[in-house]
Structure 1
Amino acid sequence: MFFIDTIELEGLGNRHYLAGGRRAAVAVDPPRDVDQVLAAAARRGVRISHVVETHVHNDYVTGGPELARVTGAAYLVPAQARVSFARVPVSDGDTVTVDAGLELRAVATPGHTPHHTSYVLTENGVPVAAFTGGSLLIGTVGRPDLVEPRLTETLARAQHASAHRLATELPDETPVLPTHGFGSFCSSAQAEGDATTIGKEKALNAALTTDVDTFVMRLLAGLEDVPAYYAHMGPANAAGPAPVDLTPPAVADAEDIAARLRAGEWVVDLRNRVAFAEGHVAGSLNFEADGKIATYLAWMIPWGKPVTLLAESPEQLAAAQRELVRVGIDRPAAAATGTPQEWTPAGDTPASFPRSTFAGLAGRGTHGIVVLDVRRDSERASGRIEGSVHIPIHQLHQRLNEVPPGTVWVHCAGGMRAGIAASLLDAAGRDVVAVDDGFDSAAVAGLAVVTD
């Protein structure tokens, strides 16, 4: 009898898998912090005999080399992937035995990358799961534009062909278990639903329900900005990432925090946006630990710039460290836990700014203020507040001088990105109000919402 355990990383929107039998298991696309995979294997009482990668990842740093090292597992990587470490090269059709009756077969599925490989798990010759990485996802496919702009259309066509190959070769009841698609920007769209099969994808997935030219045209038209840190993930994974260090950082006191701010370093407050607005160290930035901290901090911080983390508890700090190592931000320069009063030098008081809702904005009226929309282009195209200024959140830190003068009421779709934006504006000395509300409330509140 086989098992499949899912290790979900909600912050990055990815899933990783441990699949096996009574004695041994295979880890698929493991995250950087491999202790989670080791714990899953320990709970099952199995050894990890194989570690496999579907592709050289663009959105997170893999734990594959480290997991293979500590377990002695064979490390399987697509043969065409250009890497600089020892591995077992895998080609289309290659098979390995995981446990008694359990076999893993490599299926070349180029598209997300030229070398992308899916893996079909069979029990006594019957397919029981397809680990599809960034190929066939729930209702969509992985992005084809992360490798090289000149290859984008070619890879989009390959995605269509790869999806059809899986749909043709596998029974309809085969579960499809992708790595991307649960919030990851490696997905060309976000998953609708939590699980799928080959049969369901045949009925719903555009890659399987439209001709190749229509599919490619629509896929390429829907692609959005790529997080800036992706440029660093592929090279890190091709080189073979180092083991992680999750020990607590050096402790920073109030004077040290102030000195780091004066030196131009980033001081990041991990508390929720409500607490941050009520009181924070002047000049610090708010990336909520419970939000998509890894995605947005790694996207916006100048790569390699020292970062100091401020947390309300050691547990919050440790969780954030774990999130950040997954995208290559390995060691905070320093950290502190406690309250803004403890982080602020003697004689100074914490800074603050107001929060409101769309109803509050409607009551105030938009005349004489700046309404700043920090959503993505696609979100804004479906509805925007008339007269609002648009700067996507991931561009705001580089375009602060484009925000018109006046008090800035900043909003996104739900409040989290508005909190980040408000902290950036506040740190730059602007008067700001964070609209902490769902965008659906804008029209209900009586604001003029128009579409492009």
Structure 2
Amino acid sequence: MFFVDTVEIQGLGNRGYLAGGRSAAVVVDPPRDIDRMLALAARRGVRIALVAETHVHNDYVTGGLELARVTGAEYLVPAGARVSYPRTPVADGDTAGIEEGLTLRALATPGHTPHHTSYVLEEDGRAVAVFTGGSLLIGAVGRPDLVEPRMTRALARAQHASARRLADELEDDVPVMPTHGFGSFCSSTQAEGDSTTIGKERESNDALVKDVDEFVADLLAGLDDIPAYYAHMGPVNSAGPEPIDLTPPRRADAEEIAARLAAGEWVVDLRSRVAFAEGHVAGAYNFEADGKLATYLAWLIPWGKPVTLLAESFEQLADAQRELARVGIDRPAAAATGGPADWLGHGEEPRSFPRAAFAELSGVRERGEEVVVLDVRRDSERANGYVEGSAHIPVHQLHERVAEVPDGTVWVHCASGMRATIAASMLDAAGREVVAVDDPFDAAEQAGLTVVRPEA
């Protein structure tokens, strides 16, 4: 009897899989921290016989090469992928045995990348699951614009054909196991749901419902911003990533933290946005450990710039270090745990700024006070509605555009509060007076603020 176990990489919105039988298994699209896959296989009592990549990933550093080396597994990589390390090139229709009666069959599904390959898990010749990587997702498909702009339209059409091929060749009850689509920016849209089958997707997925021209037009119109760090992931994965190093970073005292800030390095406070607003080291930025830390820090930080992490506990620090290593931020320059009292020099006071709700902003405006309202959501979010009179700089552009923020006290908001506090911390570090709106955007109109809806 076969099994499929899922490893969630929640901060990046991805999944990897361990699938096998009584004695052997395959790992599909493993994250860089391979210890999780090794532990899962040990609990199952199976040998990892195969490691399979659906494509050269653009959003995280793979652990596939190292996992294959450590376990002695055969490393399956699509034949069309240009990589610099030994692997078993996989072409459409190739099969690889996992154990007696359990086979992996490659199915060419270009679209997310030109070489993208899905893998059908077959038990005694019957398809029992399909690992679709960045092809057919839950209610969506992987975006086709991560390779080369001139190829985007052709890859979008290929996505439509690939999704149709999966639906044509597999039965309705076959579970679909995508890598992307759980908050990943590799997904063309963010769909609801945690699991799906070929049959469910046949009923609702645009790639299987719309004709190719309508599908391509809608897909391309809905594509959102690409995280800047994606540009570095493909080359790292093609060259062959170094093994992950999760040994603790060197400890920094208050003097070193101050020196690193003075040198223009990034000091990142991982505590909650509530704790950060109440008191923090002047010049530090707030990226909550419980938020999408890797995505937003890797997106915003100038690539390769040293980063020092400030955490409330060793556990929080270790978790953050692991998450950042998945996107190629390998070694923090230094780190410290505790709180502002531990990170500030003698006689120094922590910085702070207020948090507020949209109702308080509404009251300020009603009193006629002149304030700046800064919306740091993405363009696609703002297109659905924005506070009248607000300025707009997406959070991933703010570090380079702080000088464009109008003079005055800045009330900064996003959709829920996390990105607003990232932005508030950057403005605070630049010496601006700031209020972080920690409130869902839906509350703006309820609070009496005028929300302009361009598409209404």
Give the TM-score normalised by the residue count of structure 1: 0.99
In the alignment, structure 1 residue 322 sits paired with structure 2 residue 319: no
| Residue identity in the other structure for 1:236 | V
Deviation at residue 451 of structure 1 after TM alignment: 0.7
Secondary structure, aligned partner of 1:399 = helix
1:154-197 CA-to-partner distances (Å, cap 9, x unmatched) read: 00000000000000000011100000000110000112111110
Deviation at residue 364 of structure 1 after TM alignment: 1.3
- 1:444 corresponds in structure 2 to 446
Matches within 5 A, 1:10-25: 10-25=10-25
- 2:151 corresponds in structure 1 to 151
Deviation at residue 436 of structure 1 after TM alignment: 0.3
What stretches of structure 1 move > 2 A for 4+ residues in a row? Answer: none
Q: Of residues 424, 436, 452 in structure 1, which corresponds to 2:426?
A: 424
Aligned partners of 2:128, 2:190: CA distance in 1, in Å? 24
Matches within 5 A, 1:47-446: 47-365=47-365, 367-446=369-448
Aligned partners of 1:393, 1:172: CA distance in 2, in Å? 42
Aligned partners of 1:37, 1:190: CA distance in 2, in Å? 26
Aligned partners of 2:258, 2:26: CA distance in 1, in Å? 48
1:114-145 CA-to-partner distances (Å, cap 9, x unmatched) read: 00000000111111000000000000100000
Aligned partners of 2:252, 2:442: CA distance in 1, in Å? 41
1:194-252 CA-to-partner distances (Å, cap 9, x unmatched) read: 11100111110000000100100010011111000000000000000000110110000
Aligned partners of 1:200, 1:390: CA distance in 2, in Å? 39
Aligned partners of 1:450, 1:281: CA distance in 2, in Å? 37
Aligned partners of 2:74, 2:177: CA distance in 1, in Å? 21
Matched pairs, number: 452
Root-mean-square deviation (Å): 0.6
Secondary structure, aligned partner of 1:85 = coil
Secondary structure, aligned partner of 1:11 = helix
1:290-324 CA-to-partner distances (Å, cap 9, x unmatched) read: 00010000000000000000000000000000000
Aligned partners of 2:35, 2:352: CA distance in 1, in Å? 39
Aligned partners of 1:162, 1:249: CA distance in 2, in Å? 44
Aligned partners of 2:132, 2:339: CA distance in 1, in Å? 44
Aligned partners of 1:207, 1:219: CA distance in 2, in Å? 9
Deviation at residue 100 of structure 1 after TM alignment: 2.0
| Residue identity in the other structure for 1:233 | M
Secondary structure, aligned partner of 1:397 = helix
Aligned partners of 2:250, 2:69: CA distance in 1, in Å? 29
Deviation at residue 367 of structure 1 after TM alignment: 4.3
Secondary structure, aligned partner of 1:372 = strand
1:248-306 CA-to-partner distances (Å, cap 9, x unmatched) read: 10000000000000000000000000000000000000000000010000000000000
Give the TM-score normalised by the residue count of structure 2: 0.99
Aligned partners of 2:191, 2:364: CA distance in 1, in Å? 38
Unaligned runs of at least 5 residues, structure 1:
none
Aligned partners of 1:143, 1:371: CA distance in 2, in Å? 32
- 1:42 corresponds in structure 2 to 42
Percent identity, please. 75
Aligned partners of 2:296, 2:369: CA distance in 1, in Å? 31
Secondary structure, aligned partner of 1:227 = coil
1:30-80 CA-to-partner distances (Å, cap 9, x unmatched) read: 000000000110110001000000000000000001100110000000001
| Residue identity in the other structure for 2:16 | H
Aligned partners of 2:144, 2:292: CA distance in 1, in Å? 23
